């Protein structure tokens, strides 16, 4: 594809039939290729599932083949100065490359964006978000600042806030989960007894809104463990919507319903608090139209 295409959904359907109907110059295999190469956005978020549900009014965008490497970022910049850049990473996009995917990553897109404006400048990822989690992601523009943040991360970060759409009703309007996390040989994380290999994890939650069998929860983590929020919501009997790996039965958004909405950190250069916020994605607002955040 050479150009972006923007399409508007007019009736309830799923993604593949919608694309086959609206993009008639492409074969079924070509359209599937667009999905697998992460060239399809729904309301600004990368979607790869062919059966992702669509509702009237949603916007579907088809990206050019090399859009991830374009000088213009395909996602919003939340903050930028001479040393830091924070972006709103969409769900479905890797923070950093791995053995199977090097090009279509947030790191690659931000690196190309910065180099186009400051030739020769390198960027360094400060922390990561899981591929399926959207929200605040921070990069440093020099290695010294990256190290100052990473080497003292637990003290630098004052708040890590998330919004999660979970199935069912939380046991309390506000509460805390504390457990010891273990990981299986297949990389599944679970709560278990205290032990040498276990990592303590603390998650605090607050109900924001309920609607149609789902609860929007504001979540803060005192510890940054792998899949911590996902495991703790499962432990509460309210798995995150779309998280079939950890017990979800439904997928109303066509994605993992977890969004990193706020990160507050102390800027090592000024010793002042820097608050970074990523707005609630449209997919969340469709499920919780009355959410006051």
Asked whether residue 199 falls in the same domain as residue 234, the answer is yes
Give pLDDT tens digits for 110-146. 998 888 878 888 999 999 999 999 999 999 999 999 9
The first and second tokens of residue 121, run together, are: 């400048």
Count of residues making up the chain: 293
pLDDT value of position 293: 65
Asked whether residue 253 falls in the same domain as residue 180, the answer is yes
Asked whether residue 24 falls in the same domain as residue 86, the answer is no
Can you tell me the distance from the alpha carbon of 75 to that of 67, in angstroms, rounded to the nearest whole number? 11
pLDDT value of position 68: 44
Check residues 34 and 179 and name the one with the higher pLDDT: 179
81 domain residue, yes or no: yes
Can you tell me the distance from the alpha carbon of 224 to that of 181, in angstroms, rounded to the nearest whole number? 11
45-54, 168-177, 215-224: which has the minimum mean pLDDT?
A: 45-54
From 88, 112, 130, 235, active-site residue: 130
- The CATH number assigned to the domain holding 23 equals 3.10.290.10
- Indicate if the pLDDT at residue 2 is higher than 60: no
43 catalytic residue (yes or no): no
Give pLDDT tens digits for 71-87. 578 899 999 998 999 99
| Structural domain total, the chain | 3
Q: Please report which confidence band the pLDDT of residue 100 belongs to, taking 50, 70 and 90 as the band edges.
A: low
Nearest partner of 223 among 176, 274, 185, judged by Cα = 176
- Indicate if the pLDDT at residue 170 is higher than 70: yes
pLDDT value of position 69: 43
- Indicate if the pLDDT at residue 176 is higher than 70: yes
Q: Which domain holds residue 122?
A: 68-151
Q: How many helices (H) and strands (E) does the chain have?
A: 7, 17
pLDDT value of position 1: 40
19 domain residue, yes or no: yes
The strand order across the sheet containing 5-8 reads 5-8, 59-62, 40-42, 45-46
Asked whether residue 166 falls in the same domain as residue 231, the answer is yes
* CB 7, CB 22: distance < 8 Å: yes
279 domain residue, yes or no: no
- Indicate if the pLDDT at residue 197 is higher than 90: no
* pLDDT, average across residues 9-35: 91
- Indicate if the pLDDT at residue 102 is higher than 80: no
Asked whether residue 79 falls in the same domain as residue 127, the answer is yes
* pLDDT, average across residues 273-290: 94
225 domain residue, yes or no: yes
- The CATH number assigned to the domain holding 103 equals 3.30.2350.10
Q: Which residues contact 138 (CB under 8 A, 6 or more apart)?
A: 84, 85, 86, 125, 126, 127, 149, 263, 265, 276
Asked whether residue 86 falls in the same domain as residue 47, the answer is no
Chosen domain end from 103, 122, 151: 151
* CB 123, CB 145: distance < 8 Å: no
pLDDT value of position 175: 98
28 domain residue, yes or no: yes
The DSSP 8-state label assigned to residue 228 in this structure reads H
């Amino acid at each position: 594809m050479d150009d972006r295409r923007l399409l508007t959904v007019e009736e309830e359907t799923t993604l593949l039939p919608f694309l086959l109907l609206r993009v008639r110059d492409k074969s079924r295999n070509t359209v599937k290729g667009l999905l697998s190469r992460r060239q399809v956005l729904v309301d600004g978020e990368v979607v790869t599932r062919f059966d992702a549900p669509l509702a009237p009014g949603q916007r579907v965008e088809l990206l050019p083949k090399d859009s991830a490497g374009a000088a213009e970022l395909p996602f919003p910049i939340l903050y930028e100065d001479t040393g830091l850049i924070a972006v709103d990473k969409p769900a479905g996009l890797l923070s950093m490359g791995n053995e199977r995917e090097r090009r279509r990553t947030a790191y690659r897109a931000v690196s190309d964006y910065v180099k186009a404006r400051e030739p020769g400048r390198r960027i360094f990822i400060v922390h990561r978000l899981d591929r399926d989690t959207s929200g605040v992601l921070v990069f440093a523009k020099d290695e010294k600042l990256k190290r100052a943040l990473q080497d003292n991360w637990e003290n630098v970060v004052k708040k890590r806030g998330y919004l999660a759409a979970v199935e069912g009703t939380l046991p309390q309007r506000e509460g805390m989960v504390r457990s010891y996390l273990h990981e299986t040989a297949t990389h599944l994380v679970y709560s278990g007894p205290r032990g040498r290999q276990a990592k303590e994890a603390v998650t605090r939650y607050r109900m924001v809104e309920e609607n149609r069998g789902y609860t929007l929860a504001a979540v803060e983590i005192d510890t940054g463990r792998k899949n911590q929020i996902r495991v703790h919501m499962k432990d509460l009997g309210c798995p995150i919507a779309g998280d079939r790996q950890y017990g979800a039965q439904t997928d109303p958004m066509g994605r993992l319903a977890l969004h990193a909405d706020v990160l507050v950190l102390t800027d090592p250069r000024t010793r002042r608090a820097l608050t970074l916020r990523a707005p609630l994605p449209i997919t969340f607002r469709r499920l919780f139209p009355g959410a006051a955040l």
